[in-house]
Amino acid sequence: MKRLRTFEFCVLIDWIWCATGRHPTVVQPFLVVFSYFQFALVLVLGFTSALQYDGECENKKALNPRPHSVSLLEFGAVGDGKTLNTVAFQNAVFYVKSFADKGGAQLYVPPGRWLTGSFNLTSHLTLFLETGATILGSQDYTHWEIEEPLPSYGRGIDFPGWRYRSLINGDDLHDVVITGGNGTIDGQGSVWWEQFSSHSLNYSRPHLVEFTRCDHIVISNLTFLNSPAWNIHPTYCRYVKVQNLTVHASPASPYTSGIVPDSSEHVCIENCNISMGHDAIVLKSGWDEYGIAYGKPTKSVHIRAVNLQSSLGSGLAFGSEMSGGILNVLVERLHLSNSFVGIELKTTRGRGGYMKDIVISNVEMHNIHTAIQVTGQSGSHPDDKFDPDQVPFVKGITFDNMVGSNITFAGNFSGIYESPFTSICLSNVSFSMNWDSSSSWFCSDVKGFSQKVSPEPCSDLKESSFNASSSCFFSLYPYNYATDF
């Protein structure tokens, strides 16, 4: 209900009211009058919005085949799993660059085991991994470049200082596709996991695929295995589609994550099966003072039809690095199993930023320790220069149509005293517990609304339905009143 609203909504009510916004000093006299009408207006809006809704995944533009294709074999690559092919990949990408103004080109990776160190992509490239093709990440550190940390993090994610570049990188690119006939990208991460756990790395671990400041990226029809850290990390990107992937790492692998949209917008993730040691899908936007200064939110994200599993983290997570803000997220048809936490929003003092207007709907959970966790006491700081007075806010989070079986703890809502989490809404939620259900919820510094929730939630989540109508369902269709993209 702040600065985001639809053109339609403005026409519906009164565009002057919209234009002035609801800043208390400006519209105080109108508030009383308008709040009375809010209930009805919101119902009208909810109804019309439902008809207009269009998430990121709805844009079904087919991929154009590239007019040109080259095979990795033409660059002297050897697919024996032993020969290092970094130079072959680099030369092939360099060659594809010359097709940039001719519709781009496909780099075809035939069946085989293609060992490589880190390499860069180029614009208008399709990297195609044939059925039976595996790109293998080298286990020798010297085959991986190192680079400065991301500006919104100020340091590597594992350690202060520099970090290893990802296996496959795109910087400042447009129109890049990584796809195939279910070919594989295998990071052979075990050596990194061991070195991380024994504190013998000098730089933070690499990811498998990272894009920075790119747009129109598609990653589809592939399997990702054994990433040293994260699998797919789009940062400062726009228009990213991640579709039809299998992503897996050992349940014991330390802090491995699947797909990590970070300070990025217009992101679609669909039809993916992900099982990780840590968070399977996690949305982020920078870390404390670095993320606040960089100021780039993750927004307009649509996630649907995904199966997620996380042995030690969460199936679906938000944060804890969220200092640039996270907003307008729609998640549908989420299946979570055998995980420590099902869905988690995590932040802490010092982060600044916000998480708001998030709708998670049609969720099935099995064998989960904590089904929902929303916490303001989670995560560490990049250094001691963070400002503890930068308190994040969490608002407008809707959980709708959820069923769960073999759940140990239903919900842990632990807000921040100076900034209670508000408009936390649960509707049609039914968990069958494997433990005494009378102690299955915890609430502190949180306010919200619930209807048809079992087991019975805490009283802090039982505000009146009038308040809920103005604060919960308003965010059900987040794309419709986000006018600033």
Ligand X SMILES: *[C@@H]1O[C@H](CO)[C@@H](O)[C@H](O)[C@H]1NC(C)=O
- Neighbouring CB atoms inside 10 A of 40's CB total 10
Contact 322, 297 (CB under 8 A): no
CB of residue 210 to ligand X, shortest distance in Å: 11
CB of residue 280 to ligand X, shortest distance in Å: 13
For ligand X, the closer of residues 121 and 482 by Cβ is 121
CB of residue 434 to ligand X, shortest distance in Å: 6
- Residues of the shown chain interacting with ligand X in the complex, contacts defined by CB under 6 A: 63, 90, 120, 141, 171, 179, 181-182, 200-202, 218, 220-221, 223, 243-246, 271, 273, 307, 362, 367-370, 375, 377-378, 401, 403, 406, 408-409, 412, 414, 428, 434, 442, 463-464, 466-467
SS3 of residue 306 by DSSP: strand
Q: Is residue 87 classed exposed, middle or buried when 0-12, 13-18 and 19+ CB atoms within 10 A define those classes? A: middle
CB of residue 86 to ligand X, shortest distance in Å: 8
For ligand X, the closer of residues 321 and 463 by Cβ is 463
Contact 349, 292 (CB under 8 A): no
Q: How far apart are CA 298 and CA 279, in angstroms?
A: 17
For ligand X, the closer of residues 7 and 435 by Cβ is 435
270 contacts: CB under 8 Å, gap ≥ 6? 57, 242, 243, 244, 302, 303, 304, 305, 306
For ligand X, the closer of residues 211 and 479 by Cβ is 211
CA distances to 18, 83, 357, 401 from 363, rounded to whole Å, are 34, 45, 18, 6
16's tokens: 């002057």
For ligand X, the closer of residues 293 and 403 by Cβ is 403
In eight-state DSSP terms, residue 16 is H
For ligand X, the closer of residues 6 and 179 by Cβ is 179
164 contacts: CB under 8 Å, gap ≥ 6? 118, 141, 144, 145, 146, 147, 203, 204, 205, 206, 228
For ligand X, the closer of residues 8 and 366 by Cβ is 366
CB of residue 260 to ligand X, shortest distance in Å: 18
CB of residue 103 to ligand X, shortest distance in Å: 17
CB of residue 294 to ligand X, shortest distance in Å: 18
420 contacts: CB under 8 Å, gap ≥ 6? 445, 446, 447
Selection from 413, 402, 271 nearest residue 347 by Cα: 413
Contact 218, 178 (CB under 8 A): yes
For ligand X, the closer of residues 476 and 482 by Cβ is 476
CB of residue 421 to ligand X, shortest distance in Å: 12
Segment (H or E) for 234: strand 230-235
